[in-house]
Each structure stands twice: as structure tokens, then as C-alpha cells.
Amino acid sequence: MNFFLPADSAQSAWELNNDSPFGGRFPVVGAKPHVFPDGVLENAGYRYQRSAAAGQKLRVVRVAGERTLNFPDEAMGFAVQAPSLTAGADGRTRGSIDDATDMTAYGFDSVHSAAFLFTIHQTREFYGTLLLKLGVAVQP
């Protein structure tokens, strides 16, 4: 099953943060690779250096100097653009899964984690559908 919410506020922010159409010079704060604010250091930020040796292509420049980016969590969070959307943003992002459900139909609109944040009264229909799809018997 793939439950997705196209207008999810958090996923929309993630997509904007992941967008890097200008190769390192971004008008969007937070875009990747992340560039530090003006005035901190000329050309400060994360970058991919194609000519560097293997294992040293991802770099970060700060006031304290330049270093190789060796931490996967830091690289994924600030330097590397993901090649796809988040799984919950688009009903087509499901691979071999045939069953896709747009959670907008349950009134979740753009609320990230609405299934957990809304009251039981607001989520009853959603959880009923989920239990049905999972083959779990629902008590009247």
C-alpha cells in the first residue's frame, strides 16, 4: 500500500530544500548544496569538487578552513541532492505496489502527520480504510 499526501507541508519544504538548479549559487535559503549566509566567508558552504580525488570530492568551507565531508548524515542533509521525490509526496512513487491512496480524501489537506495529530473523530475513516486494506477485522 502507498498512502500519499501531495500537498504535505513538510514534504513540500523538503522538495524546495533539495532543489539545486543553479549549481551552487541559490536564491533559495536551504537549497543544496547548502551555501552559508553572505558575509560569513567568501564562497563558504558545501560543494562538490569534480577534480578532487575519490573520497574527497564533497567539501565544506567555513571560517575555520576547508575540510573533506566524511559524515554521511551531514552530506545527505546539506550537500547531496536526492534524485527523487519523497515516497509520500506522489502516488506514482510506489514501485511495484499497486494500491495507492491519496490521503487528501480524508481531509488531511497539507497537514504533515495528520493521521497522528488529528483527533480520532477526524481520522476514523482513514484508519477504517487502513485496517480494511490490512485485512484486520474492525469491531463495530
| pLDDT winner (highest mean) among 71-80, 115-124, 130-139 | 115-124
Least confident of 18-27, 115-124, 128-137: 18-27
Q: What is the pTM of this model?
A: 0.59
Q: How many of the other CB atoms lie within 10 Å of CB of 131?
A: 13
The pLDDT score that the predictor gives to residue 106 is 95
Q: Which residues pair with 61 in a beta bridge?
A: 45, 66
| Greatest alpha-carbon span in the chain | 65
- For residue range 42-93, list pLDDT tens digits in order: 567 787 777 888 888 888 887 778 888 888 888 877 777 777 777 787 788 7
Nearest to 88 by CA among 100, 77, 98: 100
